[in-house]
Amino acid sequence: MSLFQRLFDAIGETASTAFSGVVEAVLTVFAGDPETRRKVAFSVAVIALSAKMAKADGIVAPEEVRAFQEIFAVPQSEAKNVARLYNLAKQDVAGYQAYAARVASMCGSGETNCAMLEDVLDGLFHIAKADGLIHEKELEFIADVADIFHIDEPHFDRIMARHVHPNGIDPYAVLGLPDTASFAEVKKRYRALAAESHPDRLRGRGVPEEFLGIANDRMAALNDAFAIIEKARAAA
């Protein structure tokens, strides 16, 4: 039996009226298996935030649904269950803040700039920009979630720089460095961020396999930023 089917079987009819019941049930259904519980809780919470965020601008665009499917590449056998969870979250009247707080709690009380929560924010940005434009309401949504996640402003700015660049990518912002940084500093920061974004690191912090596409997007942004700086420094 699949993980999500076990969840639905345990919850029964309550899942048809409140997505919050699903979130609550994760802790008890998988109580004897902490690693699985962490992965399922992460998945369920991200489904909820994705559904809520897709409605932030008042429209759930087909491109946003496809973007969600890109980062949540679940097996075909789980597709109906994931769609069911997504639709429940989209219809639930409960606020997204409650779901964001549940995700944040998996990193410990008050921890700042948790790497796993950065993975979640990358996923939300990926969905928000799928229709070609990150709307103001969507950006406000993600910024509010980041605040609930205890992501400080400089760290959030670096995350945002990977996704929002209407005037062209700012490679230094992506790496979180001033443009006066030496090339040695640039290389050191690039290597550290690349190591942190490796799929094995994501697995180690409980990110399910279906979310590892996030790492590919992040690495592409880091690689582009480093290549731009390297080329500019070589030409100087």
Find the length of the chain: 236
Cα–Cα dist 102/120, whole Å = 12
Q: Residue type at 156?
A: F
Position 110 scores a pLDDT of: 67
Work out whether the CA dihedral 87, 90, 94, 96 comes out positive or negative: positive
Please tell me the distance from the alpha carbon of residue 159 to that of residue 185, in angstroms, as a whole number: 19
CA 16 to chain CA centroid, nearest Å: 25
> For residue 232, what pLDDT is reported?
94
- Indicate the residue type of 150: H
Sign, CA torsion 56/57/61/66:
negative
pTM over 0.85: no
Residue whose tokens read 């890109």: 70
CB 36 within 8 Å of CB 3: yes
How far is CA 80 from its chain centroid? 21
Q: Which long-range contacts (CB under 8 A, 24 or more apart) does 181-185 make?
A: 183/229, 183/230, 183/233
Q: Please check whether residue 86 is in contact with residue 47, taking contact to mean a CB–CB distance below 8 angstroms.
A: yes
Nearest of 66, 217, 51 to residue 132 by alpha carbon: 66
pLDDT of residue 176: 95
Tell which residue, 46, 53, 170, 52, has the closest CA to residue 119.
46
Distance from C-alpha of 138 to C-alpha of 195, rounded to nearest angstrom? 29
Low-confidence ranges of the chain (pLDDT < 70): 1-21, 23-24, 57-61, 64-65, 69-75, 92-94, 108-110, 206, 210
How many other CB atoms are there within 10 angstroms of residue 112's CB atom?
Answer: 11
DSSP secondary structure string, 77-109? HHHHHHHHHHHHHHH--S-HHHHHHHHHHTT-T
Quick one: DSSP state of residue 58? S
* Model pLDDT for residues 46-90, shown as the tens digit of each residue: 778 888 887 776 666 677 667 776 666 666 777 777 777 777 777
Residue type, 211: F
Give pLDDT, residue 28.
76
pLDDT the model gives residue 147: 95
